[in-house]
Structure 1
């Protein structure tokens, strides 16, 4: 997939991304609190870079992107012991930074890495 232009992504962030991302993150955490809806919550967290700036992930079916991922078992163990609490803290710090002019670049960097912090999922944007 090809990325949208810088200007389209910047306009998206200014008008939609900055407020929609916290909504998606909080919705994902409500879903993650249940066992049944956990897969949907994780999928939403994996979509945070797209919601934030319209970053297009590479297909996970591509051999080069699948090679860079940790196994499901490793990612699940990491999520249970570290990912769930660290990513909540990470997302809240990033959301706070996003409302400051100076913190926007760091917030975007942090939120683009939220899938990895949550479950070691490498978002190939």
Structure 2
């Protein structure tokens, strides 16, 4: 999918992204602390960069081929022991920084890395 213009992304952030991101982050985290809904929570976390600034992930090549990703077992173990709680703090700090002019560039950088912090998923945006 083609990336949206900087102007469209800035307008989205100003009107929607700054307030919707903390809501999405906390819904995702609530889903992540349940065993049954954690897969949905992880998918929602992967959407955070898009919710904040309409950042679209870039394809790495052939569909279905996830080159550069850690194995599912490693990602699952990381999520169980580290990702679920670290992502909660990371995402809420991101949301806090996003409402400040000085913190906004850092917040965008952090939002793009949230999927990795949560489950070692490389969001290629």
- Regarding TM over 0.5, the answer is yes
Match in the other structure for 1:88:
88
Cα pair 2:32 2:38 within 8 Å, conserved: yes
After TM superposition, the score normalised by the length of structure 2 is 0.92
Cα pair 2:69 2:122 within 8 Å, conserved: yes
CA 1:60–1:43: 2 relative to 1, 3 Å: farther
3-state secondary structure, aligned to 1:67: coil
CA 1:105–1:61: 2 relative to 1, 3 Å: same
**How far did 1:63 drift?**
6.0
After TM superposition, the score normalised by the length of structure 1 is 0.92
Give the gaps of 5 or more residues in structure 2: none
C-alpha distance in 2 between matches for 1:40 and 1:56: 19
C-alpha distance in 2 between matches for 1:118 and 1:93: 14
Match in the other structure for 1:123:
123
CA 1:108–1:5: 2 relative to 1, 3 Å: same
Cα pair 2:60 2:67 within 8 Å, conserved: no
**How far did 1:118 drift?**
0.5
**How far did 1:97 drift?**
1.0
Where does structure 1 differ by over 2 angstroms across 4 or more consecutive aligned residues?
A: 58-65
CA RMSD in angstroms comes to 1.8
Aligned residues: 125
Cα pair 1:48 1:111 within 8 Å, conserved: yes
Cα pair 1:65 1:124 within 8 Å, conserved: no
